[in-house]
Structure 1
Amino acid sequence: MASQLTINKVQEYASHLAKEDVENRLAGDELDDYASRLNRSLNSLQYQVKQHESILEKVIITNAAVGQLREQISVPSIEESSENFKAHLQQVQKATASYKSLIASEPTLPSPESPLPALLAIRRTLNLIEQTKRTIKDMQEKLLSAQAELRNEDQTFRDAQYLRQALEDRVAKLRTEETAQGSQSVNEIAAGLVLEQQLRRRRYAKELRNLVRAFNIFVAEDLSVMLAAEDLGGPVVGDALDLNEEALKSGFTQQGKPKKTSADDDKAEMRRLERNEQIWGTGSQSEAEAAEREFRDLVENLLNAAAQAEASSPYIVLKKENAAVRYLVRVKVAQFHPEDAKKLRLLEFGAD
């Protein structure tokens, strides 16, 4: 507002002077020249006034921002800054004096006869030994892990080589058969397929007989004794391989160890027959024979149920859980029903 009033006054004064000068001294072309110069001066003054106003607005905005910043940040006064500087200077001077006093005095060291250096060396050596032991232990664990990984990778590599060799042999065989069949008639090809099927059946039958023979030997000579021992409260099948029928007759303690033979043979034999009757339902057979019979019956029932799985359920209902059942489940030959632990079935080995 003040700048605008100044401009107005300048304009009025210039107009007044122009009228007086024009009336007294100027005439014609001189009046026009004077008016143009006056207008240029007036425009220059207005431009300078606008620049001053713009600068003034910026200064006002800056002052307002500085005021808000001062309100948010507490700026210490000159007196407080001086006091803080003096306190810091005193701390530095005290520390400097302390260091100078320490430098001037000789360091306190143990005498040559003191055991302190030897003790420090021993402690340092012991620490290094402990660190070395821990490092060795960590490296051994890493070495074992690396060796196990190497074995797995080596086994995977060998399996891949075997698979590749088998595929190459199969491809070569198929190419040979294709070449041979290209020069044969349909009847000759059919006869060859029938012969190949017959040979395959004979080979499978022979392998099945060998497998059944090995199975019977294993059950009769090894597994039956271990199954009977587990049913009698002895070790789990596979934990003890040196059991015999004499140990089965005497029985086992609660800790699973064989009992000592009783002096009274008649009473011991009577208790043995009663025990066998309760466990296997027969006292006329030996413990191993009873366990073998029970195991064979279980396997036969499972095979029959699996063969009739399409017509009925593949599960059989168990009368009791014995060592034979637990053994088949443990070696992943059979499995319980997910909702009924009294039902058992064979695993589908050929299923995808």
Structure 2
Amino acid sequence: MAKKRDSLGARLNRGEVAYDFIGNRKLWYGLSILITITAIVALAVRGLNMGIEFQGGAVFTTPKSEVSVSQAQEYAEEASGHDALVQKLGSGALRIQVGGLDTEKSDQVRAELAKDLNVAEDKIAAELVGPSWGEQIATKAWTGLGIFMILVVIYLAIAFEWRMAVAALIALIHDLTITVGIYSLVGFEVTVGTVIGLLTILGYSLYDTVVVFDSLKEGTKDITKQTRYTYSDLANRSINGTLIRSINTTVVALLPVAGLLFIGGGVLGAGMLNDISLSLFVGLAAGAYSSIFIATPLVADLKEREPAIKALRKRVLAKRAAAAAKGEPLDGPDAEDYDYEDEDRTAVVGQRGRRGRSSERH
């Protein structure tokens, strides 16, 4: 009877199959730097398309209409003299946003829209939004973001160590920058829903990172008492060991968000859901990437600068070179029997070889 093969996840966890994430970290760093620079340039050149909540104006909601979105946009811009954003809602109604309107001008635009769309004026709901409200939301969001990051750094420094806290913070800033940059590049409107989505992804962005850090913390206990693995080896093993779990949790999280984005927003025209789900979708994908390709490699780089870890690396590499020179694999069948705390592995191997030859003679 054929032996049942273990799953890829089990083989990754045992280190039987692995991808060298740490060894290729310069590639990931370069890719992230390129994306981040692109996002920053986009923000500097194009800026953000701020929603009506932040710039002030009026929102008109019409009853079900056969008028197309482009035609309604033309009507709104002619009546107001300002740019207009029109969305077709799932019920067939239109949501028309026009910035820079006061109460008097809003009433005039409402009357004009009623004539152009051939509906009763009292059937068009009008909501006037002042820019001060959006400014208050933005200020509170920045305050909440700052407090959150401070608490995260403190917690991770206590639960793990300061290097992991720094790496997690850099990965978090990386995720937020990419998300905001994509909004700028494609011109998506930034609304209160967007802000809610951005604040929500903070926890998701840290989830996979903390899972890998926990595995790394367990795997590197008393690391200097052995000479089989470097810190980077164990960091790479931690990523591979949690890789399937990270992929599964990310996919499971992205599926309902994709449903909100493409079905709720694209088909049904759910405005607020669309804004929240878009930032969540981009942020979740960026968070999954950074936890694997950015956060843990950064920790490995920081740890490899420590004198004790540097010394360990030299010992491991020296013993690997000695084993390679003798044609003996470091992780051979009897590798677990070797005395890895002994500073000279070649002596151990040599003694075993001499004992074996002596037994043959006798």
The two structures share one fold, judged by TM-score above 0.5? no
Rg (Cα) greater in structure: 1
Shorter-normalised TM range: under 0.3
The higher-RCO structure (CA 8 Å, 6+ apart) is: 2
- Would you tell me which structure has more strand in proportion to its own residues? 2
TM-score normalized with structure 2 length? 0.22
TM-score normalized with structure 1 length? 0.22
